[in-house]
Each structure stands twice: as C-alpha cells, then as structure tokens.
Amino acid sequence: MTFVLLIAMFLVSFSDLPVTDSVPEFEISDLKSRISDRQLQISNFKSQISNVQRVIASNSLNNRSLTWPTWSQWRRVLFLSDYNTQVVILGTMMLGMAAGTVGSFTLLRRRALMGDALSHATLPGVGLAFIIATRLGMDGKSLPILLTGAAVSGIAGVAAILYVRNLTRLKEDAALGIVLSVFFGAGVSMLTVIQQMSTGNAAGLESFIYGKTASMDFSDATLIGLSGLFSVIVIGLLFKELTLLCFDEGFAGSRGYPLLLLDVVLMSLVVLVTIIGLQAVGNVLVIALFVMPAAAARFWTQNLKQMTLISAAIGGAGGLVGSAISALLDLPSGPMIVLVCSSLFFVSMVVGIERGVLVRFIRRWELNRNVDRQHLLRGLYELLESRGLPKAAAARQIQSRFLFAELLSYGSWTSHRLMREIERCRRAGLLLRNEDASLSLTEVGLGEASRLAHEHRLWEMYLITHADVAPGRVDQSADAIEHVLEPELIARLEKLLQQKLAIQGIAPSPHPIEPLGDAS
Amino acid sequence: MASVASASLPLSVRDLTVAWYRKPVIWDVGFDVSPGQLVGVVGPNGAGKSTLLKAIMDLVPKASGRIEIFGYPYKQSRQRVGYVPQRESVDWDFPVSVLDVVTMGLYGKIGWCMPVRKKHRDAARQALERVGIGELADRQISQLSGGQQQRTFLARALVQDADLYLMDEPFAAVDAATEKAIVEILREMQRAGKTAIVIHHDLHTVPEYFDSVVLLNMRVVASGPTGSVFTRENLEKTYGGRLTLLDEATEAMRRRERTL
C-alpha cells in the first residue's frame, strides 16, 4: 500500500514540474491558488488511500506485517490470563481431541473424503438458516440456528452422494466431487447474496468458511466441549463394534451387527464434530482435523487403542497450539490449527517409531549391511575352500591370508563398499589386518564364515531338490532369501536335508564355485 | 411342512436366486446338508460360490428363495453359525493383534458396549492353540504369513463354538502344514458332530477331504455324496459349459438397460 502511495505522490509532483520551471510574476497568485488546489487534492487522495488501507486491513492478510507479540500478549496466551483466550483455547483443544478420536475410525473405514464432502456441504445450510431466521424475525446469527442449518445441509450432502452413487453408474469419487463442489458453490453464492440483502446484518457469516475463534464465547466453548465429550463417549462405548466394522465388514454382518446403523453412527459423529468445528476451523479445513491426527498416530503404533489415544492427543495439541498462535499473532485460527497438525503429522511421518520413514530406512540399511557382511564372510570361506583348506586344522585356516585385490575380483562389490565392509568386520573382531596389508579371518570370523556358507548351501540344496531350480541359477535366488532365514527355519532345513543327503558338518557347495581364486 | 422336515438339517436351501443389477449370480439353487458332514462347494471362478455363502448369511439380498438353518431363518440361528471369510477380504495391515482378531468371534457373546474380559481372551488363546499358532497371540496381524492369517480366521470361527461352519476358501494359497492343520481341525469338528461347508478349489483333494460335494456353476450341477456325485461327467458339466445361453440373455438385457 505504501508503494501505491509513493507512485501517487510521484505522479502528482511530476505534473507540478512545468509550473515550477517558469515563474512569470503575474502568474504567481494564480499559481499559488493552483498549488493550494493541488495540495487539497493530494490530502484528499491521501485520506482516500488510508481509507482503502483500513478496509483492506480489516478484510484480509494483505498489507499486514506480522508483529512479534509483546510480553503482555505472551502472558495473556501462555498463562490463559485472558478469559476469552481461555475459552477459545480450551474449546479448540476439545474439538481437536474429539476430531482425533472420531478421525481414527473414519480413516480406518476409509471415509475420510466423505467427511470432507460433508463439511463442504454445510455451507448452504448456514446461509439458508440465516435467511429463514431473519424472515421469521429471529436473530439470524444465533449459533444454534446456524449450526442446525449446517447439520441439515451436511446430511443432505451425504444423502446426495449416496443417491448419485446408487442411482447412476458413477463411482463414489465422482459423486463426492460433484456434491462437494455444488454444495460449496451454492453456499458461497448464498452468502454473497445475503450480504447484499437489506434485512439483517450478515457480517461474520463468512467466518464459517475459514473459521474465526475470536467470536467464540463461553457458551460456544461449552457446546464444543459437551459435543466432543459425547462423541468420545460414543466411540468408547462402541469401540469393539466399530473396530469390527472397520476391519471385517463381512464377518460383522454375519454376526448380525447392523452395518448400516454403525456407519450412520460414525457419520453422525463426523457431522457433529464438523458442526462444532465450523466456528473454530471453518468448513474448508475441518477435514484436516479428522485426517491428520489419525494418519500421524498410525506412524507411532500398531495398536488401535493406542492409535486412537495418540490421535486424540495430536488433535488436541493441534487445536491448543494452533489457536494459541492464532491469538498471539492475530491470524485466523483454522489455518493455524491445520498448520500445527500438519507439522505434527510431518514429524510423526519421519520419526514415528513404528512405521516412520526414518525407522524403515534404518531397518533397510541394517539389512543391507548385514547382507554385505554375509557376502564377504561367505566369499572368504569359499576362497579358503578353493585353496583346499577347510578340512585342515583351524590354526592353518586362520593363518591363510587374503589380498584385497583377490577379494575385489571375487565378488560383485565395488572397492569402496568392500573396503567399508572389511573395516566393519575388522572392528567386529571377525577379520585381522596383517602387517603386509593382507587379511586373515579370526577364530570368531572363521566360525561365522563357515556357518554362513553352511546355511547358504543348505538353502541352495533345498531349492534344487524341492523347488525345481536349475543348479546354475541357484546362487542368486538363494542369495535373495537366505539373508532373512530364521534360526528355526535353518534347523528345519538341516533336518530335512540331512535325511536326504546325509550331510555332516559344513555342506559342500552343490554347484561349482565360479570365480575361482588362486589355488595356492 | 418343509420346516418340520428340515428341522434337524443344518442347512436347507430352496430355489435360491441372487442377482447383482439384475444379472443373476446364482440361479435357482437348492440342496440340503445333513448333520455331521464336511461338504465341499466346488465350481469355476465366478460360479457364485462366495455369493452362495453370503446369501445363506443374509449378507447379500436374495431375489428369491428360502434358506433354513437348523429349521429356522438365519436371523434366529445366527449363534449356531461360524463364518470364515476369504483371507483377502480384509486389510491385514489393520492395527490389531492376532488375539484381537480372534476375540472378534466372541463379540456377540460379550454384548454391545461391553469390554473384552479375561475369560474371553483366554478362550481366544485356547482357540489359537487349537489351530497351532498359540505363540503368535500377541503379534500384529501385519506380521503373519498367509497360512497364519488363515489359521487366525479359523480360530476366530472356532472360538464361537458354532454347529455349522461356512468357510470361504480356507485352503487358498496356504502352506502344506497349514492345509494339514485345517484338515485335522475339520475332522475334529466332524467327530464333535459339527457340520462344515467349505468352498474348495483344489479338485484333487476333494474326495479325500469331503463327504459330500455341491458342484456349483450359477446353478447346482449336482450335489450329494462325494463318491457318487464327484464324477468326471459332472465335473465337465460344471467347468465346461458355462450357461452360455443364460449368460447371453442376461448380458443382452443389461446392455438394453444401459441404453435406457
């Protein structure tokens, strides 16, 4: 805005230039009057601009710098000293907890998008309720009236989805898309029309789109708290039944559970939480409160009860922190709550201890390292074998020396990877580096190497005798699986094959070992 | 009259027709099952085998027909029926443990809104012991192999202690050990006087596993004791001729409907 102002001033001064160039005396008085005219114009212009600025500032985020909150603002939010802030923060926290609880089940029932369509469909109801109430001479902005309207049109939206899906050959996603956009579009146009209506003061209705906690008072927070508590209790009572519904619909039906009724209960809870969330989060973003806490909780646990609790905690934290930030920085609450929830989701996705990205990455990395080590040790054993040493005394086997170049040409590893793995084995006490830079197995290393070679060969033999794999192709397929063989499986393989082949000790390789090293 | 005659029969199906969007999936199906029998339901893909089981349990709407279980409609004899759905029908990544899944078989007994108690968990553990995976009780179901998943489902049906079991392909893609364990349990159930109706794919093992068979391909091609019904001729009828004329007629009707 200051930019516009500067340009305007520049233009004004530029148009003055020719006047200041020539100063014939007889024109001075005329000039003076023209200048004062200009000054008047400028001051008019300025006041217009500041008017515009005020209007814009009151409407949107444009032209506003975020100011770091003062100490008194911090105190107001952190210690909940301000009554209104207390109400808002506690209200949104309860909302978040309720949404997190209900959201766990909608996520598992794969009804997340249905909730989105439902929340978008509430908007025309808000508008209609306002129109009807004002026509009837009631207070159009009374919250219970507006929320009733929202609930009715939300349910009508869901009914429309089911209607479109069942009556036509359209799939559910198309039905969702159609209903969601039509209802939301209708709602937005209705609010616009209302604002142009002469009757009733409609200002503030648009806060149902993005949410505005500032207007929340104690009775609203009580409403949110009680409704949230109610939905949590319903979920708690029907925990078993809803779990069964989400996990195995067919079995639930065969046990005589009314599937439709259970679904209706779940969707009604979604309606309820959406409706109470309209004021704080707005109908566009309220879906985030259902989806993100539940999805985030999934990264932390494999237990549904824990998941529901974690989801409720994340939702509650999102509501609390989000509305606190909103109060501190004077930003709209809905987007703040969603942003906090999404940060928690992102953190869970990365560091979640059960299914987080990091944990899975570490597991994979450990497996790869393990595979490298097994390859190296088995390679060493096979080299020993090619030198004719395995049957010799352990002391002589241990003294046998390997050169790095020899190992490098033996396996399909890069020199960097081989070097790294040798270093790891050396630190683990499996390998020794001799003074001439050659390598030898330690006693432990030898034991490990022969065990690995044995298991590898057992598996190869099993594949050849039982799974009809040509011997030439065995090495690779054995490689793929043997790294995940568990001890009890090895024991079973041994039993199975010992009967067949009468193997004692370390099994011989069932195929010629290909890249033969120097048989020295 | 019929209900008096069939009061002792675990299952009696009469004139059953089920249709999806007016396309018949099973057509005029009728057969009886006598108590204490292991019955195999055999037929090609799309023959309506799963639909038959679901229709018996009122899970899909019937176009026509009457089904009686121990002489009563399913609704009244539900407690006497145990169901083992197809393994692929559920998401095995669901956040529950093996024990949780097995206790689901007891939810009806536990009652609405009541928590699962220790005696229920004990019963579930016992059922898991019976199917040979007692040590896996506290595992997450996502860690189970195919055979272990199938045993879990079986345990969930066993824990109900029903009299008639309906099993949808319990032998599909399981390891040999699991197959043996399931057969052993079926025999045990039979000795206890229970009846099982099992959808089965592997024709080689039918005579070995089942006392009687229902050969199904939209309609019942033949049903009765395995020895007399499970013949090459009947199998050819079941697998060879899909009811082409009927198929074509319904297909034509659906095409016409679509243009309406």
Angle at B101 between CA B99 and CA B104, to 5 degrees: 110
Token pair recorded at residue B21: 């969007």
Q: What is the pLDDT of residue A198?
A: 62
**Contact (Cβ atoms closer than 8 angstroms) between residue A232 and residue A272:** no
DSSP one-letter string for B44-62: -TTSSHHHHHHHHTTSS--
Q: What is the pLDDT of residue A97?
A: 96
Distance from CA of A475 to the nearest CA of B (A): 24
Bridging pattern class, strands B81-84 and B64-68 = unpaired
**Contact (Cβ atoms closer than 8 angstroms) between residue A155 and residue A166:** no
Q: Please report residues of B whose CB lies closer than 8 A to that of A244.
A: 104, 107
Assign B213 a pLDDT band (cuts: 50, 70, 90).
very high
**Contact (Cβ atoms closer than 8 angstroms) between residue A153 and residue A185:** no
Q: Where are the alpha helices (DSSP H) in B91-243?
A: 98-103, 107-110, 118-130, 146-158, 176-191, 206-209, 226-229, 232-239
Give the residue from A168, A170, A255, A301 with the most B CB atoms within 10 Å of its CB, the best one to mutate: A255
Nearest-angstrom CA–CA distance, B200 and A80: 66
A34 Cβ neighbours under 8 A, 6+ residues apart: A19
Nearest-angstrom CA–CA distance, B212 and B221: 14
pLDDT at B194 over 70: yes
Asked if B170 has any chain A CB less than 8 Å from its own CB, the reply is no
Amino acid, res. A361 = F
Q: What is the pLDDT of residue A316?
A: 95
Nearest-angstrom CA–CA distance, B161 and B190: 13
**Contact (Cβ atoms closer than 8 angstroms) between residue A333 and residue A106:** no
Q: Please report residues of A whose CB lies closer than 8 A to that of B114.
A: 240
Strand (E) positions, A395-490? 431-433, 439-441
Bridging pattern class, strands B11-20 and B23-33 = antiparallel
Asked if A302 has any chain B CB less than 8 Å from its own CB, the reply is yes
**Contact (Cβ atoms closer than 8 angstroms) between residue B182 and residue B154:** yes
Distance from CA of A235 to the nearest CA of B (A): 10
Token pair recorded at residue B130: 């019976």
- State the complex-level ipTM: 0.90
Nearest of B202, B162, B185, B161 to residue B38 by alpha carbon: B185
Q: What is the pLDDT of residue A464?
A: 72
Nearest-angstrom CA–CA distance, A195 and A206: 10
Nearest-angstrom CA–CA distance, B98 and B84: 15
Query: How are the residues of chain A apportioned to helix, strand and coil, as percentages rounded to the nearest 5?
Result: 75, 0, 25
Q: What is the pLDDT of residue A171?
A: 84
Q: Please report residues of B whose CB lies closer than 8 A to that of A302.
A: 95, 97, 140, 142
Angle at B85 between CA B84 and CA B88, to 5 degrees: 135
Q: Please report residues of B whose CB lies closer than 8 A to that of A247.
A: 90-91, 94, 96, 101, 104
**Contact (Cβ atoms closer than 8 angstroms) between residue A106 and residue A112:** yes
Compute CA distances A229 → A312, A376, B148, whole Å.
12, 60, 39
Q: If you count DSSP H runs as helices and E runs as strands, how many of each does chain B have, helices first?
A: 12, 9
**Contact (Cβ atoms closer than 8 angstroms) between residue A115 and residue A270:** yes
Whether A255 and B78 lie within 8 Å, measured CB to CB: yes
| Element at A450 (helix H, strand E) | helix A443-466
A491 Cβ neighbours under 8 A, 6+ residues apart: none
Per DSSP, what are the bridge partners of residue B33?
B11
Asked if B81 has any chain A CB less than 8 Å from its own CB, the reply is yes
In tens, the pLDDT along B152-177 reads 999 999 999 999 999 999 998 888 88
In tens, the pLDDT along A190-204 reads 888 888 876 656 667
Rg (CA), chain B: 19
Nearest-angstrom CA–CA distance, A193 and A486: 70
Nearest-angstrom CA–CA distance, B55 and B61: 7
Other beta carbons less than 10 A from residue A507's beta carbon? 20
- Closest by Cβ to B59, choosing from A237, A244, A254: A254
In a 3-state reduction of DSSP, which class is residue A332?
A: coil
Q: Please report residues of A whose CB lies closer than 8 A to that of B100.
A: 243, 304
* B130 backbone dihedrals φ, ψ, rounded to 5°: -60, -35
Q: What is the pLDDT of residue A514?
A: 57
Bridging pattern class, strands B195-199 and B64-68 = unpaired
Q: Please report residues of A whose CB lies closer than 8 A to that of B116.
A: 240
**Contact (Cβ atoms closer than 8 angstroms) between residue A331 and residue A361:** no
Assign B119 a pLDDT band (cuts: 50, 70, 90).
very high
Distance from CA of A253 to the nearest CA of B (A): 6
Nearest-angstrom CA–CA distance, A370 and A364: 10
Give the residue from B50, B57, B258 with the most A CB atoms within 10 Å of its CB, the best one to mutate: B57
Helical axes A443-466 vs A357-386, angle rounded to 10°: 90
Q: What is the largest CA-CA distance in chain B?
A: 59
Compute CA distances B251 → A414, B50, B117, B217, B245, whole Å.
61, 21, 52, 17, 10
In tens, the pLDDT along B56-107 reads 999 999 989 999 999 999 999 999 999 999 999 999 999 999 999 999 999 9
Q: What is the pLDDT of residue A473?
A: 58
Other beta carbons less than 10 A from residue B217's beta carbon? 22
Whether B78 and A298 lie within 8 Å, measured CB to CB: no
**Contact (Cβ atoms closer than 8 angstroms) between residue A519 and residue A387:** yes
Q: Where are the alpha helices (DSSP H) in A109-204?
A: 112-120, 123-135, 143-167, 172-196
In a 3-state reduction of DSSP, which class is residue A151?
A: helix
Token pair recorded at residue A517: 């090293």
Other beta carbons less than 10 A from residue A202's beta carbon? 20
pLDDT at B244 over 60: no
B249 Cβ neighbours under 8 A, 6+ residues apart: none
Q: Tokens 């024109």 identify what position?
A: A27
Q: What is the pLDDT of residue A61?
A: 46
Q: What is the pLDDT of residue A438?
A: 84
Q: Please report residues of A whose CB lies closer than 8 A to that of B92.
A: none
Compute CA distances B179 → A69, A480, B182, B225, whole Å.
69, 26, 5, 22
- Closest by Cβ to B94, choosing from A237, A247, A257: A247
Distance from CA of A254 to the nearest CA of B (A): 6
Nearest-angstrom CA–CA distance, A378 and A398: 15
Asked if A251 has any chain B CB less than 8 Å from its own CB, the reply is yes
Q: What is the pLDDT of residue A483?
A: 63
Token pair recorded at residue A288: 């985030």
Nearest-angstrom CA–CA distance, A76 and A89: 12
Asked if A261 has any chain B CB less than 8 Å from its own CB, the reply is no
Over its length of 520 residues, how does chain A's per-residue pLDDT go in tens digits?
444 544 544 444 444 444 444 555 556 677 777 777 777 777 766 666 666 555 554 544 444 566 777 777 777 667 666 777 888 888 899 999 999 999 999 999 998 888 888 889 999 998 899 889 888 888 777 888 888 999 999 989 988 988 888 888 788 889 899 999 999 999 999 888 888 876 656 667 778 888 777 677 888 888 899 999 999 999 999 999 999 999 999 999 999 999 999 999 999 999 999 988 888 888 888 899 999 999 999 999 999 999 999 999 999 999 999 988 888 888 888 899 999 999 999 999 999 988 889 998 998 888 888 888 888 888 888 888 888 776 666 677 777 788 888 888 877 778 888 888 888 888 888 888 888 888 888 888 888 888 888 888 877 777 777 665 555 555 655 566 666 666 667 777 777 766 655 555 666 777 766 554 433 3
Bridging pattern class, strands B11-20 and B64-68 = antiparallel
Burial class (CB in 10 A: 0-12, 13-18, 19+), B150: buried
Token pair recorded at residue A411: 């396996």
* A255 backbone dihedrals φ, ψ, rounded to 5°: -85, 0
Q: What is the pLDDT of residue A467?
A: 63
A152 Cβ neighbours under 8 A, 6+ residues apart: A125
* A380 backbone dihedrals φ, ψ, rounded to 5°: -65, -40
Residues in chain A: 520
Q: What is the largest CA-CA distance in chain A?
A: 128
A367 Cβ neighbours under 8 A, 6+ residues apart: A483
pLDDT at B204 over 80: yes
A515 Cβ neighbours under 8 A, 6+ residues apart: A409, A410, A411
**Separation of CA A457 from chain center:** 45
Token pair recorded at residue A190: 């209705």
pLDDT at B16 over 60: yes
In tens, the pLDDT along A477-490 reads 556 666 666 666 77
